[in-house]
Every structure is written in C-alpha cells, then in structure tokens.
C-alpha cells in the first residue's frame, strides 16, 4: 500500500511539473494573457486528484468499504469542483470573459489530471472487485 501511495504521489507530481512548464512555455511563446496563477490552479488539480487516489487506496484496506469504493468515488468530482470554486472564486470566477488561452489552460489541466486519476481509480477498483466467477 505504501508503494502505491508513493507511486500516486510521484506520478501526480511529475505530471504537475510537466503540465505547468508546458503551459507556461506555450503561454509565453504565444504571448497570451492568462489572468490567474497557473501554478496554483495546476497544483490544486494535481493535489486534489492525488488525495482522491490516496484516500481510495486507504479505504480499500477496510474490508467493509471494499464493495462501496465505486460509490465513494462518485461524488468526488462534484466535491473537487465545489472546492475549486471556493478556492479560486476571486482569482478565476471573478473574471467576466475568459480568453481562449485561459479556457484552454483550465480545461487541459482538469482533463489531464482527471485522466490520470481515473486510471488509478480503475486500478484500485479492479484490485478490490469481488471475484464473481471464481
């Protein structure tokens, strides 16, 4: 379990730095204007996704929660969205109109970290699925 948690942490940290530096490079080269902090938004998406995976891995060690892991995961997207809204209400949601580069930065960060999160969640759920045909 500790190995899995270290893998999740390392994977999300590596992806965070890759996405951040790629976005920063593209924004600087295209001379686009991004009116919010890319570091903070990417860090939020990476940390939230990593915490979801780590908690699901920890919950998978509790025998009574194993059949409920999928149901435990379902509301996390809404919780993450609500926390993002609360945390970035002034920085992101106070903007009247988003530029294309701002939309692209937010959406790409969300999707990239969500894809890695789903890969890890599917792995956790497969490991803990009941063996029906055994």
Average per-residue pLDDT for the chain: 90
| Cβ atoms of 45 and 110 closer than 8 Å | yes
Q: Is the pLDDT of residue 43 over 80?
A: yes
Report pLDDT for 123: 94
- Mean pLDDT score, 74-101: 86
Give the model confidence (pLDDT) of 64-74 as tens digits: 888 889 899 99
> What confidence tier does 131 reach under pLDDT thresholds 50, 70, 90?
low
Domain boundaries, the chain: 2-127
Q: Is the pLDDT of residue 133 over 60?
A: no
| Cβ atoms of 34 and 27 closer than 8 Å | yes
CB atoms within 10 A of CB 90: 9
Q: Is the pLDDT of residue 119 over 70?
A: yes
Rounded Cα gap, residues 88 and 94, in angstroms: 9
Q: Is the pLDDT of residue 134 over 70?
A: no
Phi, psi for residue 81 in degrees, rounded to 5: -65, -45
Listed residue (41, 26, 51) closest to 93, CA to CA: 41
Say which residue, 100 or 133, is predicted with more confidence.
100
Percent of the chain whose pLDDT exceeds 90: 65
Residue found by looking up tokens 């929660």 in the block: 65
> What confidence tier does 93 reach under pLDDT thresholds 50, 70, 90?
confident
- Mean pLDDT score, 34-53: 94
């Amino acid at each position: 379990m500790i190995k899995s948690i270290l893998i999740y942490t390392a994977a999300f940290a590596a992806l965070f730095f890759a996405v951040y530096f790629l976005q920063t490079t593209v924004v600087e080269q295209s001379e686009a204007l991004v009116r919010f902090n890319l570091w903070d938004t990417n860090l939020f998406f990476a940390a939230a996704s990593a915490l979801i995976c780590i908690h699901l891995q920890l919950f998978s060690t509790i025998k009574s929660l194993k059949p409920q892991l999928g149901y435990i995961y379902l509301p996390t997207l809404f919780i993450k969205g609500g926390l993002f809204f609360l945390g970035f209400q002034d920085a992101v949601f106070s903007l009247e109109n988003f530029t294309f580069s701002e939309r692209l930065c937010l959406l790409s960060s969300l999707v990239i970290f969500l894809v890695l999160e789903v890969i890890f969640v599917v792995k956790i759920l497969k490991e803990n699925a009941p063996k029906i045909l055994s």
